[in-house]
Each structure stands twice: as C-alpha cells, then as structure tokens.
Amino acid sequence: MGYVGNHLATLVTGVFAAVLTGLWPYFVDFAPILNFVFIMAVPITWFLTFTCWISQRSTDYMHNHAPTHAEKKSLSNTQTIQTTTSGSQVSLSEIKQIQNELSLELSNVKETVKLKDSEIERLNQEISNLETLVQIESLKTELANLKMLASKRTTKSK
C-alpha cells in the first residue's frame, strides 16, 4: 500500500493544484493570457485531484469489502436459490445432484441415438442392396424379352 495508501496520484495532482493556486497571485500582473491559463488550470487540477481521490476511495472500498476466496466458497456451499413460481428454495447441492442425474440421462439418450443411427445405416445398406437386386431382375427381364423378340424375328425370317 505504501505510505500514502495508493493515493499517490491524488497526492501528486493535489500538490500540483496547490502549487498552481499558490503561484496564481504572483503571475496575475504579467500578462492577461497567463491569467487566463491560471483561471483554466487551477480548477481543472483541483477537479482532477478530487476525481483521483474519489476513484481511489471507491477502489479501496470495493477491495476491502469484497468477500475473500474462502468467504466466497463458504457462501457458495450454503447458497440457496428461490424459485419465483412456487416460492420454494433449492440448495446448491440439490442443483448439483439434479445436474448429475440429467447428465447421466443425457449420456443414455446419446447412446440410444448412436444405436438408432447404426440401425438406420444398416437399413439404408439393405435398401441399397434391394435396389441393386431389383435392377438386376429388371435387366434379366429385359434380356429375356429381347431374346424372345430375337427368336420371333429369326422364326419369321425363315
């Protein structure tokens, strides 16, 4: 944390703002443009000092009041979730148990789907084989018809 408790940016801008504020009366009489620069610079540096201070306070508050890892773990083990429809509460352990049951059921469904996929593949192969057999039979029938036509032509030509 250091000597200034992480407020180094606040300290530096504050010192700069204080120096500008202290020098302002000595440079008022030199040039009007210099007076304008001081009129702009002094409020801006004090605003930056205030902004640095507020942001560091906010960061310190968030880090000091945030639960540590052990507190988060103990909170997560005893955490309950209230459902909006029935008003009942479900603990985290019950959610884990239901999740395990559902993952087991999902793996069973996946196995069943794999079996169905293999059955579908086998049936597709049988359909393909039957289509080939039908094509062979239609070719045999066509060949028999052609032989019959050829024999009729040979008998007519004699």
Instruction: For residue 69, name the pLDDT band (cuts at 50, 70, 90).
Output: low
For residue 153, the model assigns a pLDDT of 85
For the cut 60, the answer to whether the pLDDT of residue 42 exceeds it is yes
The residue among 90 and 18 whose pLDDT is bigger is 18
Provide the whole-model pTM: 0.41
- At 36, list the tokens: 């304008």
Confidence of residue 35 (pLDDT cuts 50, 70, 90): confident
Instruction: Say what the pLDDT of residue 152 is.
Output: 86
- The token duo for 40 is 């702009």
Interior angle at CA 118, CA 115 and CA 124, nearest 5: 140
* Mean pLDDT value of segment 35-63: 92
Q: What percent of the chain has pLDDT over 90?
A: 39
Residue 35's alpha-carbon distances to 18, 31, 47, 104, in angstroms, are 16, 7, 19, 78
Burial class for 21, CB neighbours closer than 10 Å (0-12, 13-18, 19+): middle
Q: With a cut of 60, say whether residue 1 has pLDDT above it.
A: no
Residues whose CB is less than 8 angstroms from the CB of residue 5 and which lie 6 or more positions away in sequence, other chains included:
60
**Is 114's pLDDT higher than 80?**
yes
72-83, pLDDT tens digit by residue? 666 555 555 555
Say what the pLDDT of residue 48 is: 95
Does residue 50 surpass a pLDDT of 60? Answer: yes
